[in-house]
Structure 1
Amino acid sequence: MKLVSFLDGPRLGYGAVKGDGIVDLSARLVAEAPKIRDCIATSLGKAAATVARIAPDLALADVRLLPPVPVPEKIICIGVNYADHASEMGRTAPPFPTVFTRFADTLVGPGSDLILPNNSAQFDYEGELAVIIGRRARHVRAADAMAHVAGYSCFQDASVRDFQRHTSQFAPGKNFPGTGGFGPWLVTADEVKDPHGLKLVTRVNGVERQNGSTADMIFRIPALIAYLSSFTTLNPGDVIATGTPAGVAAGRTPPPWLRDGDRVEVEIEQIGLLGHNVSAEG
C-alpha cells in the first residue's frame, strides 16, 4: 500500500492511494485507528483488506498531501552514511552512526515549498531514503530489526550549511522551519523487496545532481535500528532519514546552492518522487 496523510478542506485524514484516488481509511477505521500512527502500529492488515474491496473516496487531485506521518514523535537523521558523500565532505567513514535530530515543524509534504532562510545563502539539497517504524523497538538486535519497519518514503534533508558548521553539532543547520521534505507517501515494507538496492536520484531544475544507490550505505537499516534502539525507544510513526549519497552542493566547486524559485526533486526506485519548489522566507 501507499499510505498518505491529507487535508480535505479543513479535515485532516489519512488513507491509501488507489489509482488516482484515495481510500479514506481515517473515516473507515475511525474506532480502532483514528490516526495514521495507530494504523501503522495495529491495523495495516485490516487497512489492506479494506483498500482491496472498495473504490476510492477522494481524488488525489482534490486534496493537499501532507508528510505521510504529519507529526512524528521522533525524526532521527543519519549523517555521512555513504562513503562517497563522506569523502566529498572531507570526512572519513565514522565508527558509529552519526546521529542528529529534526523537529516536526521542519517537515513539509509533497508540493509544499521548501523555505529558503533569509539569514543564509547556503541552502543545500540532500535526497534520502526514510524508514518509518511500525513496531516499538528497544534493544533490538540487527537480525530482528526489519520486523519493526512499517515502510519507506522519500526524504529531502535540506541543510543550511553555514549554520550546520557553526559547531560540531549539526542541529542548527537541520532545523529551520520548512526545510525537511517528506513524502509523497509511505510505501509499506511488503512492497519493497530490498531497501538496500534502490536507485536514488536528486534533480535541481531538471538537472541530475545526485545519483546513488541505497546499496552503498555504510550503516544499513538493521544496524541503524539496532544502534538507535540501544539508546532510545523507537515508536510507531518514528522516522529515520538514512543519509545521502554524493553530489550535494557543498561538495561541488563552486557550490550550486538552492535559490528562490528552484525546483528540487528526490526520486527513489519503488518508492516514488518527492518534489518541492524553493521559496524565499517571508
Structure 2
Amino acid sequence: MNSSSSNRPVCTVALDRTFDRIFEIEIPFDLPSGLSKIVGSCNGLMCLATSTNVIYLWNPSARKFKKLPGSCLGNLGVVTLGFAYHSENNDYKVLRVSCCPWIRPNVPDDIEVYSLSSDSWRRAGMSLRANVKASDNSFLLPTPLVSGALHWISRVAEREEECKVEVIMSFNVNSEEFRMLRMPDGAMSIVRFQTCLALFKGNLAFLTFGQSEQRGGYQYSIWVMRETNNQEQKFVLVDTETLHGKDFDIQQPLCVATFMESLALLDGANMVSY
C-alpha cells in the first residue's frame, strides 16, 4: 500500500511473476497512515485492518466495501488476524486472536471468528491444554492460509512453571479445529531479529532475519517443510520459479497480498457502494 495525491492510501496492483505495475486503486475508506495492513485476499475480496482493530472487507471490482461489527471479546490486547474462504459453506471468515500478556499473563488467548454469511462474531474455543500467548508484534505479521488452515506463531507453556517456547498454531477454517506444530529444526539456534510465516509454492514457510554465526554478518533464512535456503540481506520481490528478483516501490512490504478480480458480493448491514 502507498499514498495517492489525495492523501488516501492506495493499493498497487502488479502483474504476476514480472511484478510490473498495472495500476493503482485508491482505498475508498479511511485508514490511518502507517497503521494499517492487508490481512488477506480471497476470491477477489480483500480484508484490511487498522491497529485500532477496525476491519473492512472490500471488493474493488464490484466497488463495494463493508465495515465489520465490533468485537465480542470486549477489551482487546495484542491481536493476530487471519482471513480465509470457507469452501464447504461458500462463506468468508476472519479469525481474531487477542491476548493481554502484561495484564493476564496466565490466561489463554481469546479467539473469535467472524462469518460474512451471519455478519457477526462468535467466540471459538481452543481445545489445547497449553497456555498460548501470541507474539508481541503479531499484528504486523501475515497469517498465511495453507491447506485450508490459517497459521501464526505463538509462545506456549504446558505448565505454569515451565518456560514458554515458540510453536506454530493452525486454525482449520472449515472444521474450526486448532493444531499445534513444532518449529523447524535448527530455527531456534539462530539469533533472530525478525520472524514470520508465509506461503511458498503451496507450502508453509518459516522466514527469519538474523545473525549468522558461521558466515558472520546477517542473513535471511527460509524453511519450507524440511528444506533450508539462505539468502543475502536485500528487500526484493522474487519469482519463485526463475528465482529472479526485482526491486519494487512498496512503502510497506508487509502489506502485500495476491488478488484476482471477482464479483463476490458484500451485502447486508454496513455495506457501501461507491
Q: Which has the higher helix share?
A: 1
Q: Which has the higher strand share?
A: 2
* Fold conserved between structures, TM > 0.5: no
* Structure 2 length-normalised TM: 0.25
RCO higher in structure (CA 8 A, sep ≥6): 1
